[in-house]
Each structure stands twice: as C-alpha cells, then as structure tokens.
Amino acid sequence: MEIEAKFAIPNRQVYRDLLRVRQLAGFTLVPAGTANVTDHYVDTADARLLHAGYACRLRAEGAQVLVSLKSLGGAEGAVHYRDEQEVWLPALTLDIHAWPAGPARDLALRLAGGAALQALLDLEQRRARADLVEPLPGRARRVAQFSLDAVRAAGGRRPTSYYELEIELIDDGTEADLARIAAELAETYRLTPETRSKFERGLALRRPAAAAQPLAVAAAEPLLPDEPMSEAGRKLLRLHFGRMLANEAGTRVGEDIEALHDMRVATRRMRAAYGVFAEYYDRATLDPFNKGLRRTGRSLGAVRDLDVLLEKAEAYRAALPPEATADIDPLLEEWRARREKARGRMLAYLDGQSYRTFVADFRTFLATPDAGALAYAAEQPVPYQVRHVVPRLIFTRYEAVRAYEPVIAAAPLPTYHLLRIDCKRLRYALEFFRDVLGPEAAGLIKQVTALQDLLGALQDAHVAEGLIAEFLQKRSRRRKKAPAVPLAGVERYLAAQRATQEDLLVLFPPAWAEIVGPDFRRALALAVSVL
C-alpha cells in the first residue's frame, strides 16, 4: 500500500520557492538529488486497465525496467491510498507473459485479458528529491520523501507542462506526520490537494476523451416495427455484448462484486435473446455463440452465486450481538474457500483460448449486418418482421406464466423456482421490445420484476437452507475424528433461512394476483395492440 499526499503547484514561481525550502512542519529537508525520469504508460487498445481502475507504468532505472501497476482513485483530500504491484524486467518488453512470475504479472494478465499492451502516454519529469527527517537523540527519524516534479506530458504538437509536489511516507513516518506536513503546505504555501495521479492528470491534458469516458458501450439502438427479427436481435445482442466486455476487467480484478454481477446479467440477457431470436438465423452460425455464452455464464455464475450467499450471510452476521458474530464464521470460511476456487476456475476460463476465440468471433458476427440471417423470399407470407412476431411471442410467454394458476397454491418450492424462470422470460421479452410496445409496457415490466425479485429471494433462501444443512451434516460426520466446533450459530442461521421462506410465501399471493389479474391482462393487450 502506497500512502502519499499530492499537491498541485499553481505556477513556476511557487515551484522555485519550494525548491529552496529546508524546514517544513518541524522536519528537516535533506536533499537527495535531482533526476530526469521518463515514464511510459501502457494499456490495451480498448483501455482495459484504465477502465478497471489501474495504470501500468514502465520506468527505466539503470539497465533494468521497473513495471508498476497502481490503482487509481483512493484519494482523501490530498492523501492518496493506492494498491501497488511491481516487478523488475531485465529489458523493456510489453509481452506480459515474458515478465517474471509474481503478483504484478498475475494482475496484469487478469486486467489485459489476453489483449496486447501498447503505448498510451509518456510523461517526462524533472524530479528534485529530499528526505524529511526529525533529528532525535542518537538518530534521525526518516518520515517521508519530498518530491518536487516538473512534469511534461509528451505527444501532440505542443507538449503540456505542469508542477506537482508529492510527500510519500517512508520508514518511520506515520499518517499523523503526513497530516501535519499537508496542513502546513496548505496553510503556508496555499497549495491545493491534487486528487488525480500524474497519469490521470497527464491523460486528461493529452487525451481528454480517454480520461473521461468509461469503456465504450454502444448505446441502445431503437428497434423498429418493420425490421427483420434477425436485425433486431443483432442490435440487442450487440448492446449486451458491449456491457459484458465493459465489466470484464472489473470482474478479473475482483475488488467490486458489482462488475461480476453486471457481466453475468449481460450474459444472461444474451442467452435469453438467443431463445427469442434463434429461429431467424442459420443455427450452424448462431449455435457456437450460444455455446460460448453458456460456458461464460456458468463460469461467472459459480462465483456470483457464492457472492450472493456470502453477502446475505454477512448482513445477517452484522445484525447479531457483538458476542455472537463469530458463531457463523465456520460457515463463512467454507463458502469463501469455495468462492476462491470458483474464482480461480473463472479466471482460467477467461484467460483461455476458447473464451478469446468466442469473443473475437462473436464481435465480428455482431458487427456484420445480415450475417447468419435467414433469407425469406418476397412472395412468401412468412412472419419475420418485429411487428408480426412480437404479439405471439409475448402472449406465449404470458401463457406459460398463467399455466401455474391451477397448481401454484399447493406447489412445492421447486415449482416456484420454475415460475420465476418463466416470469424472467416474460420480463425479458417485454424489455427487449419496449421500443415498439405501448406506454403500458413500463408498468408491466415493473410488476413482473417485483414478482421475479420476490421469487428470487425465495430461491436464494431455499438454496442457502440446503447448503447450510449440507455443511452441518458434513461437520457432524467430522466430529467423530476431531474436536467439535460450536455450530449453534450456524443452526440458528439455518432456522432464519426457513423463516425467511415462510415470510416470502405469505407475500406471494397478492403479488401473483396482480400478474394474472384483469388489470395486468388489459394493460398487456393495450401494450401489444400498437403493433
């Protein structure tokens, strides 16, 4: 973890004044030399590292090259807290596979996801260094490194220059020391905190579009009533494929579980779109892509399902009295271990050739109009336009939902899960074709989503119950061979999952009545009638 304070220096005169400073906040500045430094920042062509929140810097030092992978952000006022991984190279190379094995190489491989690195930005610096020390009896306490930088962002017709001051904690320095130094710089020299790294600042100056934009995701293209179903499907697949790729880097890093969630949702939506649009394509062309989506979805889902379990279990744990919070730790430890194994398998899949081939081929297919689309003779009365197909498609999915009316009252829990799947198919159909449906579609989607969420929570509790029971059974068998571990807290959590299911079943009838009731049916008919 790198901890430093950063300040923007407003002009060259203040920069020169700071070069002459020898005492600061009660510390002595001991000059440590001046150096010219050139930093080469690299990324993939589609800026995967940047959009995952990292910068990759290559800096020549003597005969070697130091690669630094630093997280972006993490600033609290002037103080920056950044994760950092470094590796030394015997010679400059952008081939990550050629880097020495270790955490930096592993992180770079995950972030790049098989894509090649290329030059992004060069920064040239004139750096004046000094050590901030506190003289003590018999020794000097080294607190921080003081670095005054005149930075030149190369590239373009006119290179851009700016000035910065960094105070990085070293050796005996504490965050209290850093706060004291930062306060004097702000008060005496009127310096303002710089929340951006040099890389972010240079990128904003030289390549503002790259600095400001997230990983490009194609905007949703409106569907048209008279276009072929094949091209409507291509639009939707292209949208969700872009969202899948936009979240891949964050999924690889694993610091924000929402990236994995969003990547999985995009994959699920594409699987659902396949079920809607497949009959309008040559299956030999489309089926390999569905196979790739299925593999990707399974790989992501194995991790995401455990994220959901852990998130809910940790929320339950947080609500316990302090003396009882450790009671479900044995269960959490097992689930975390399972997640790490599932994550390892997921990363191996994402790093593999089959995934890279799938992504490359699918991207080409989605960018090629009419690719794989079935052709229909003009004189054939075959329904293939959106306006002709969608009414049947939506009512067929609603028919599947209403088929549960005679059985749901006395149904076992697995039947509720099947109903959830059919509700999801209806919801996705309404969402896919919202552009061509009447204004009632928005309310219908909201109602179906509410029922689906209720059924999803019911299924989550049911799955958790099964896994907790399995855990307890396994631990019961172990007691014969090892000292018993108290599991009363886990047993209470099992009871809580059963109670949750009972509570949700009480909420189900009114939500279900809305979906099969006359108001919903009337609104659905009106939404479809515009076609």
What CATH number corresponds to the domain at position 504? 1.40.20.10
* Residue 60 and residue 205 in one domain: yes
The better pLDDT of the pair 358, 448 is held by 448
* Residue 455 and residue 318 in one domain: no
Q: Is 408 helix (H, G, I), strand (E, B) or coil?
A: helix
Exposed, middle or buried by CB within 10 Å (0-12, 13-18, 19+), for 57? buried
* Residue 144 and residue 232 in one domain: no
* Residue 29 and residue 124 in one domain: yes
Tell me the mean pLDDT in the region 391-401. Answer: 98
* Residue 315 and residue 439 in one domain: no
Inform me whether the pLDDT recorded for 376 exceeds 90. no
Q: What is the structure's pLDDT at 59? A: 92
The better pLDDT of the pair 237, 46 is held by 237
The better pLDDT of the pair 131, 62 is held by 131
Tell me the mean pLDDT in the region 121-149. Answer: 89
* Residue 303 and residue 403 in one domain: no
**% of the chain with per-residue pLDDT over 90:** 57
The answer to pTM > 0.85 is no
Q: What is the structure's pLDDT at 479? A: 63
Domain-located, residue 317: yes
Domain-located, residue 377: no
- Condensed to tens digits (0 to 9), the pLDDT of residues 240-292 reads 998 998 888 788 777 778 889 999 999 999 999 999 999 999 999 999 999 99
Exposed, middle or buried by CB within 10 Å (0-12, 13-18, 19+), for 493? buried
Lowest mean pLDDT: which of 187-191, 250-254, 328-332, 523-527? Answer: 250-254
The backbone torsions φ and ψ at residue 329, rounded to the nearest 5 degrees and listed phi first, read -60, -40
Q: What is the structure's pLDDT at 213? A: 45
Lowest mean pLDDT: which of 205-214, 372-381, 382-391? Answer: 205-214
Exposed, middle or buried by CB within 10 Å (0-12, 13-18, 19+), for 451? buried
Domain-located, residue 320: yes
Q: What is the structure's pLDDT at 137? A: 85
Domain-located, residue 15: yes
Lowest mean pLDDT: which of 139-148, 332-341, 347-356, 510-519? Answer: 347-356
Mean of pLDDT over the chain? 88
Domain-located, residue 380: no
* Residue 104 and residue 241 in one domain: no
Measured distance between the N- and C-terminal CA atoms of the chain, rounded to whole angstroms: 59
**Structure confidence at residue 480 as a pLDDT band (50, 70, 90):** low
Domain-located, residue 236: yes
- How far apart, in whole angstroms, are the C-alpha atoms of residue 132 and residue 22? 9
- Condensed to tens digits (0 to 9), the pLDDT of residues 418-457 reads 999 999 999 999 999 999 999 999 999 999 999 999 999 9
The residue from 309, 341, 368 where one domain ends is 368
Query: Which range of residues forms the domain containing residue 335?
Result: 219-368
Under the phi-then-psi rule, with left for phi > 0, alpha for psi from -120 to 50, and beta for the rest, what region is 113?
left
Domain-located, residue 399: yes
* Residue 54 and residue 196 in one domain: yes
* Residue 107 and residue 254 in one domain: no
The CATH number that applies at residue 107 is 2.40.320.10
Q: What is the structure's pLDDT at 189? A: 86
The residue from 195, 212, 229 where one domain ends is 212
Domain-located, residue 373: no
- Condensed to tens digits (0 to 9), the pLDDT of residues 10-58 reads 889 999 999 999 999 999 999 999 999 889 999 998 888 887 778 899 9
Residue length of the chain: 531
* Residue 203 and residue 233 in one domain: no
Inform me whether the pLDDT recorded for 359 exceeds 90. no
- Condensed to tens digits (0 to 9), the pLDDT of residues 8-20 reads 888 899 999 999 9
Inform me whether the pLDDT recorded for 357 exceeds 90. no
Query: How many structural domains is the chain composed of?
Result: 3
* Residue 229 and residue 204 in one domain: no
Q: What is the structure's pLDDT at 81? A: 59
Q: What is the structure's pLDDT at 212? A: 41
* Residue 72 and residue 136 in one domain: yes
The residue from 368, 396, 431 where one domain ends is 368
Inform me whether the pLDDT recorded for 354 exceeds 60. yes
**Structure confidence at residue 211 as a pLDDT band (50, 70, 90):** very low
